[in-house]
Amino acid sequence: MSISQEYIACGEKNLLHTYNRSPIVFEKGDGVYLYDAEGKKYLDFAAGIAVFALGYNNKEYNDALKAQIDKLIHTSNLYYNIPAIEAAKELNSIAGMDRVFFTNSGTEAIEGALKSALKYAYTKAPADDYEIIAMEHSFHGRSMGALSVTGNSHYREAFGKGIGHIKFAEYNDFESVKALVNEKTCGIIMETVQGEGGIYPAEKEFLEKVRKLCDEKDILLILDEIQCGMGRTGFMFAYEKYGIKPDIMTAAKALGCGVPVGAFAMTERVAEKSLVPGDHGSTYGGNPLAGAAIVEVLRQFRERNIVQHVKDLTPYFEKKLEELASKHECIKETRGAGFMRAVELDRPVGDIIKKAQEKGLIVISAGANILRLVPPLVIEKEHIDEMAEILDSLI
């Protein structure tokens, strides 16, 4: 039995079976490559599900975390800490927000955003039946609140009604949103680019109309930027492309580039009528280690001009995928934004993902027949070529 097989057997015995994991045990990473316990090399076009934006074994990132570990890791939110304050200032600045709360995950960020919208409405007029409109085919997480606004009934069916008072509209269909709005609507939540639902960007006119509707009705627009934010679409946050700003936004994944951290941020207008001491909290949220990770990630994004790199390389990425589509009739469509791409086939992609792993390429899915490509944001043309060559041989 190999080292990997031994670990897999141990994991199957001791871990709760909530994931159908691929039979790979990764041991280390370097740049845009991962290495398993036997030393096999894999080109990574998944980045830990859009997390490791700066690639693996980034020395400056590692050194920043090591330095913070030697100083202070945790104090709780009963006190201030310098990295969290610096991270809050920088994140608010680049996101166009005014107030931020740091969480430990994207799901927790969604929970906080939902609570903020409900509290905002309650502050104006106390009631317990305010409604939130979410989108069909969306994905926001698996805790009860986040699950309640996830537009996939299969994920929700075993867990009852969730938090209740949730309605689902069709993404990119403004009339379906407008039809659900009433005097009890306090928030509209959506991913600026749907991820798990198949990599579908919001249409400009749709998002503009929803923003206008929210302004007219004093409804809070919550944009989930957990996967599509942090430079992935060629903008620091995907909503920048549309020239609009949400009332509340959520971020995670690449925000910490591997350190578990998320955030929900809001405008001052929302903060003034929203959460106050006692309404929300987190023992670990925004601890010094997480704050240091955010500060270093944002520094590298700025100094290495990561967002511009994504923007510059996107046409080449699109071109290589379009060449695949023109060559293989089974590819129905390629779409996406920046380094968040989908290759939709006319058949399930599970076997392609498995065979890609055998050939040293990591890709994931976004639905049964969709390949999802969300590589580290530091890939170069040769990595796109390598990916395309492998997929070409398999498709």
Q: What residue ranges define each of the domains in the chain, with the CATH number in brackets?
A: 3-57+305-394 (3.90.1150.10), 72-303 (3.40.640.10)
Residue 156 has a pLDDT of: 86
* Cβ–Cβ < 8 Å for 225, 109: no
Q: What is the CA radius of gyration of the chain?
A: 21
Q: What percent of the chain has pLDDT over 70?
A: 100
Region 246-265: mean pLDDT is 98
What's the CA gap between 163 and 156, in Å, rounded?
A: 11
pLDDT 10s digits, 183-203: 999 999 999 999 999 999 999
Work out the pLDDT band at 164, boundaries 50, 70, 90: confident
Residue 38 has a pLDDT of: 95
pTM: 0.96
- What's the token pair of residue 220? 């809070």
Find all residues with CB under 8 Å of 255, minimum gap 6, and list them: 91, 229, 230, 261, 262, 263, 294, 297
Classify residue 330 by burial, with Cβ atoms within 10 Å: 0-12, 13-18, 19+: exposed
